[in-house]
Amino acid sequence: MHADLGRYWYSMSASLNRIAADKAAQIEAALVDVTIDAELGKYVNGLADRGHFDAVQVAPASSAEVPDEAGGVRAVVLGVKYPHN
């Protein structure tokens, strides 16, 4: 429903919310998870300053991908499949 100068009417064109919902319904959830993890990894790896961490590892598939090294502190950022409860 639209309004202008006290006049109201319905439009046949799709609203922005409807367009976004239609596009979201076309995308697979697994693809979204993989894309978010990849973009987060690119962002973190592009940072010049890692703070006090010797390494930052983003979205490892399993704990086997995180090496046990004697020296330094490593930050591990879990993927979107593993939210904090």
CA angle 27, 30, 31 (to 5 degrees): 55
More confident residue, 69 or 32: 32
Model pLDDT for residues 17-49, shown as the tens digit of each residue: 989 999 988 989 889 899 999 999 999 989 988
Q: Is 73 within 8 Å of 54 (Cβ atoms)?
A: yes
pLDDT of residue 77: 93
| 59 CB-contact burial (10 Å; exposed 0-12 / middle 13-18 / buried 19+) | buried
Count other Cβ atoms within 10 Å, centred on residue 44. Answer: 15
Contacts 24+ apart (CB under 8 A), 20-24: none
Q: Token pair of 52, please? A: 């006090």
